[in-house]
Chains A and B, each alone.
Chain A
Amino acid sequence: MSSLPRLQEAPGKGQCGPHGQVVEKVETVEWVSERVETVERVLKQVETVEQTVGQVETVEQTSERATAVQDGAHPTLISVKHVSRIYSDGHNGTTHALDDVSLIVRLGEFVSLIGPSGCGKTTLLRLIAGLDQPQSGTLTMQNQPITAPSHERGYVFQQGALYPWATVEDNIATGLKARGVYHAQKPRVAQFVALVGLSGFGLAYPHQISGGMAQRVAIARALINEPKALLLDEPMGALDSFTRIELQDKLLDLWKEFKSTMVLVTHDVDEAIYLSDRVVIMTPRPGRISEMIDIKLGRPRSRSSPDFLRLRAQILEKLHLSGSHPEPEFSI
């Protein structure tokens, strides 16, 4: 706390006796009590800040807490328990993509999985989606085991994975067609085109629109099924920073509107802090969850606020990437 304001020398120059007693001047006493009040106020503020800014807790603590609130205001949506996923490369080499990973995602929560490449964050997301099966451990959504992909868990791929032969409208309508409700819900397609800000581009083909637009189509395509959880695998990884910031805000708007649970895989610390309620830090070889950090910053968030920067430094440090980053300065 080097930046706390120091007590300055008292202006009244109250003299202290040899035994510490106040020798003279009532003004001095008043001055001192005034200063003490200031100090108390400052300390209180510091305490509040410390509460607001990240609290680090272990995996066990988080899952315990999550279990505790399970029946409360934040029921569990997705539960990952002791999941391991090992890939063998056909010969004798094996990769522990995930090793005994447990995670609870609560309803309506925005969780980010972050970590260096090879830490298993995409593997974890694919397991949650049902696109892959673990060797051991269980995955459940609302107490139903996850065995196959479902429209209740929308998935957005890094490159969008749009159908190149279908227009923006047809891409977005795919979910309705696949579930056989297209004719009943046809008007919703135009709504969702507009929702992601692509009105007027409904008849364009994927190669005719920009990367950011394509990702918005991919998100709308997943959201039209009103999934309980939207799983996003580095959806903004291939975008330039301006488009990325724009899309992050769009994503938050959609999150608020649909109140769906979001699980985002990213390698961008800023993105994780800006968007999430909770950041899950993963480490590679073997892929494990090393830390979970609750982000208690109010929304909308400022990317340059001192708290934001402090969290950023904290997460970078956990990822052992903080070397070149100076300590953020802040004052009260």
Chain B
Amino acid sequence: MSSRAIAETHFADLSDDLPPVPVLTNTSVTQTPPVPLSTGDLSAAKTQPAHKQSVLASTADPVYWKPQSRLWYAVSIGGFLVALALSYLVPDNIPGLERGVDFSTDYPLDPTNYRIFLVVVAVILALLYPISRFFPSLRRRLLHKAQFVCAGALALAVWDVLTSKLFILQPPYFPGPVTILAYLPTNWLNLLGHIGASSRLFAIGLIIGTLAGIGTGILIGWYRQWFYWLFPVLKFTGVVPATAWMPIATVLLKPAPVAMTFLLVIASWFIISFMMCQGIESTPKALYEVSETLGARRSFLLFHVAIPHAMPSIFTGISMATSMSFLTLVAAEMMGATAGLGYFINYSKTFSKFYQVYAAIIIMFIVFSIILAIIDTVRGRVLRWQKGLVQQ
């Protein structure tokens, strides 16, 4: 733990707004010795206002508030074993459906990958428990999430039984986890290519859009002339969805990736510059004035007062722009691309291979989650000073 992190933990309970960090672990009234500062106390320091907690809950962890019970953790591992058992025990029953007639001959129904997946997840969960002994906050998080993981395992089991076992939900529109997991490894190289194409386009579009947005945001927020001429334009073009430009972009801009980059750029540009401008404009006058009495020139006011003050707004803008860009990316790829996940979905649909559509959706979920997590991490580092100031 860095000294800065220690300092933050140390100061967290000095604030007037925050209740003292509870050190009592049970409801008894005897004085417990002070808990030594460890990594685990970091999460305990993230306290919430007292009115949000009941009297009983005030002794519990406000972040990981679910029961910290081993039983639930065991049950969550059990959930995957139950799913595995059902996969073996429930007999396949294909009522009146004929392979090659009702669904294609290459429709994957081999449960091996699904079973391996269940075992791997169960083993990982089982291994994480002893490992988390050395990472108290990870342990708390695992126990907190145990109920959800358990529900997830059961949902998987139900999905499997309803589709690949009983065929109550029928192919080709409702593939089971068995089908999707059986398909994924057979075509992973091709899928990786599509993931790469989408990611590259997304990254280029978002980065250009963000830089352009921050640039125009600063100009509009800082200079009256720019505000006068550009802000109304921004306000009206900003409300038009980027996808509306698609027909024009695809016709005028060649090759296709250029058109799609253009769409992604305008999807992120306006919202980021709008938020940036707003962040600069809402800077309290006192902060400028106090800086001037400290000897600040105008450039210092911009770079050391206005822009730091706008940082939270910029990140709100980037988050919004990211969602908008996902939307635009998939829509654009479906329309005029020759690669990418959106294209892959559209292509799979034309061959009625809906299990490929589901696979692409799952991959999108994973890729976009990773991108959002990266943005969140950067945000957390840049806006470290907000920790404890705002409700997260």
Contacts and interface: CB of A to CB of B under 8 A. Distances in A.
Given A165-B308, A165-B311, A174-B304, A179 B286 contact: no
A4 to B, nearest CB: 52
A159 B287 contact: no
B299 to A, nearest CB: 10
Instruction: Identify whether the interface residues of A are mostly helix, strand, loop, or mixed.
Output: loop
Contact of A204 (B3, B14, B291, B309): B14
Contacts of B7: 203-204
Given A175-B295, A208-B11, A222-B294, A161 B389 contact: no
Given A159-B286, A163-B305, A203-B7, A208 B388 contact: yes
A2 B14 CA distance: 53
Contact of B385 (A164, A174, A175): A164
Interface in B296-311: 296-297, 300, 304-305, 308-309, 311
A175 B11 contact: no
A225 B385 contact: no
On chain A, which size bracket covers the interface? Answer: 35 or more
A168 to B, nearest CB: 10
Contact of A155 (B289, B300, B383): B289
Contacts, number: 98
Contacts of B8: 203-205, 208
Contacts of A164: 385, 389
Interface residues of B, number: 32
Given A157-B286, A165-B311, A207 B295 contact: no
B389 A131 contact: no
Given A157-B286, A203-B7, A210-B16, A177 B304 contact: yes
B11 A165 contact: no
A149 B292 contact: yes
A204 B11 CA distance: 6
Contact of B14 (A154, A157, A178, A208): A208
A129 B294 CA distance: 11
A224 to B, nearest CB: 9
Given A154-B293, A178-B300, A165 B14 contact: no
Given A131-B293, A178-B300, A231-B293, 10 more contacts: A149-B289, A149-B293, A164-B389, A166-B308, A174-B294, A174-B296, A179-B294, A204-B7, A208-B388, A209-B14
Give the 8 A-B residue pairs with the shortest CB-CB distance, closest first.
A151-B295, A149-B292, A208-B11, A155-B293, A178-B296, A203-B7, A175-B294, A161-B286
Interface of B: 3-4, 7-8, 11-12, 14-17, 284, 286-287, 289-297, 300, 304-305, 308-309, 311, 383, 385, 388-389
15 contacts: A148-B292, A150-B295, A159-B286, A163-B287, A165-B309, A167-B385, A178-B295, A178-B296, A203-B3, A203-B4, A204-B7, A207-B388, A208-B11, A208-B15, A210-B16
